[in-house]
């Protein structure tokens, strides 16, 4: 995963599904009857917006997302749902869902700075793909635990997804199973993303 460093306005509008390409400056009242209808978006544009929304949400580079799409294409089952499951099972996203970080970028930073262990070993790659029965813990150091404790205290209480279990006093999270597609928080049409990449896989 990577940090988006492009224009913030572009990121915000794309993540909400707007590109601004159909915006028309309001005309004078007397000229409204001559105002033409906005151009209809092409199918390619619609697919591109969904793909960009997915990229910005998970903080992925284009080649990283394409790699996940190719992996999903080789698996059995719905390609779109498998793609979302792969992205949701990344270590950075798991930490965010556990409440050990308030945002995905914060979770990525925790991993990059080597505060997190997976099955007792230091994990410093935010895109590390977690598996059922993996145990995620915070390093047994005062700085690491104080940082995560601050995030846990600040996080708003929400229902934990069924594929995760949290032991906050032990700074430990458990992965019970692969995430169910209904727990995916991002509202997106994953089939449009698959359609966008259909010629590249």
Rounded to 10 deg, the angle between the 43-58 and 8-15 helix axes is 110
In 30-159, at which residue ranges do the beta strands (DSSP E only) sit?
A: 116-118, 121-122, 135-138
What is the per-residue pLDDT across 79-117, written as a single tens digit (0 to 9) for each?
999 999 999 999 999 999 999 999 989 999 999 999 999
Q: What is the pLDDT of residues 167-186, one digit of tens each?
A: 999 999 999 998 887 778 78
Asked whether the whole model's pTM tops 0.85, one would answer no
* Cβ-contact 5, 41 below 8 angstroms: no
Buried b (16+ CB within 10 A) or exposed e, 45-58: eebbbbbbbbbbbb
Range 142-147 average pLDDT: 93
Q: Is the pLDDT of residue 18 over 50?
A: no
Q: Report all structural domains of the chain as residue ranges with CATH numbers, in order of start.
A: 1-19+41-89+182-201 (1.10.1050.10), 91-177 (3.10.290.10)
């Amino acid at each position: 995963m990577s940090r988006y460093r492009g224009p913030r306005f572009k990121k915000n509008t794309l993540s909400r599904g707007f590109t601004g390409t159909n915006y028309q400056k309001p005309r004078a009242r007397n000229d409204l009857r001559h105002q033409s209808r906005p151009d209809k978006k092409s199918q390619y544009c619609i697919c591109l917006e969904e793909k960009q929304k997915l990229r910005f949400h998970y903080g992925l580079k284009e080649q990283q997302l394409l790699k996940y799409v190719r992996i999903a294409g080789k698996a059995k089952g719905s390609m779109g749902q498998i793609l979302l499951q792969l992205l949701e099972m990344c270590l950075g996203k798991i930490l965010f869902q556990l409440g050990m970080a308030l945002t995905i970028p914060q979770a990525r930073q925790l991993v990059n700075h080597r505060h997190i262990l997976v099955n007792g070993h230091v994990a410093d790659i935010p895109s590390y793909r977690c598996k059922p029965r993996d145990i995620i813990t915070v390093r047994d150091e005062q700085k690491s635990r104080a940082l995560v404790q601050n995030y846990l205290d600040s996080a708003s209480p929400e229902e934990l997804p069924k594929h995760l279990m949290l032991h906050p006093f032990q700074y430990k999270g458990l992965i019970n199973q692969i995430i169910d597609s209904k727990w995916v928080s991002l509202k997106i049409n994953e089939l449009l993303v698959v359609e966008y990449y259909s010629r590249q896989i």
